[in-house]
């Protein structure tokens, strides 16, 4: 297994843990107007927004010889990373927190289960089909989406692929950057949430952080679909 060298970084999200922008109330477990930190406040004010996707995190790696390798993120729940897996590329978002440990497991058709083999082949076929999209950089952060991956709302295909960098939010579609405006937005709009990048660090805001019965939770048919490849 080819693994990243020390210091190599992905140009976008490295697959690590993202902190929430807003703090949680200890009783309701919902967001409060208080941000997590000064850095979170700066991200809220100045960061670049992306739509959050309900799927399974992945990474496409372009080797020096041009060969593409595809991965799906694995949480070992604090256990050692399996020898066949790849550690996360270096980045500002950590690979371990509390009882979670993230790594990337290679996607291969060398598996016994027939359903897994079929799904993995479809994933690898997509990477091959769109290889020109991944050949220009070492790492491409992606989301595996579709009915086989959390039944991604708006994606009717079993297996599809969304590139995180392409999930950009137009400034006109971004709420005014205050707690009150985000709360109003997520109580009216059926999206899972936003990812916010600032100074290389990625943060998140989720609709269910404002209300467990937000439109995303109650009306999957109305959810905005991601930009995806099939």
Question: Each residue of 162-184: pLDDT tens digit?
Answer: 999 999 999 889 999 999 999 99
Residue 5 confidence (pLDDT)? 41
Q: When comparing pLDDT for 90 and 27, which is higher?
A: 27
Query: Can you tell me whether residue 208 is helix, strand or coil?
Result: helix
Which one, of 214, 213, 206, lies nearest residue 53 by Cα?
Answer: 206
Cβ atoms of 201 and 43 within 8 Å: the answer is yes
pLDDT tier at 219, thresholds 50, 70, 90:
very high
Residue 3 confidence (pLDDT)? 43
In the predicted model, is pLDDT for residue 7 greater than 60?
no
Of the chain, the end-to-end C-alpha distance in Å amounts to 27
């Amino acid at each position: 297994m080819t693994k990243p060298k020390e210091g190599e970084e992905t140009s976008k999200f490295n697959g690590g843990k993202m902190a929430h922008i807003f703090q949680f109330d200890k009783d309701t477990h919902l967001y409060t107007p208080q941000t997590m930190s000064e850095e979170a406040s700066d991200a809220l004010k100045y960061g670049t927004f992306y739509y959050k996707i309900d799927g399974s995190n992945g990474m496409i790696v372009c080797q020096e010889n041009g060969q593409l390798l595809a991965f799906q993120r694995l949480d070992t729940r604090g256990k050692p990373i399996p020898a066949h897996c790849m550690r996360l590329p270096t980045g500002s978002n950590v690979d371990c927190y509390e009882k979670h440990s993230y790594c990337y497991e290679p996607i291969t058709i060398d598996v016994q289960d027939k359903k897994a083999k079929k799904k993995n082949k479809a994933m690898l076929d997509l990477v091959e089909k769109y290889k020109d999209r991944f050949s220009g950089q070492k790492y491409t952060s992606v989301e595996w989406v579709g009915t086989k991956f959390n039944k991604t709302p708006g994606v009717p295909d079993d297996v599809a692929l969304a590139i995180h960098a392409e999930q950009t939010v137009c400034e006109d579609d971004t709420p005014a950057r205050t707690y009150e405006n985000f709360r109003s937005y997520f109580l009216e709009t059926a999206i899972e949430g936003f990812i916010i990048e600032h100074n290389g660090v990625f943060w998140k805001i989720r609709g269910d952080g404002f209300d467990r019965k937000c439109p995303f939770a109650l009306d999957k048919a109305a959810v905005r679909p991601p930009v995806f490849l099939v």
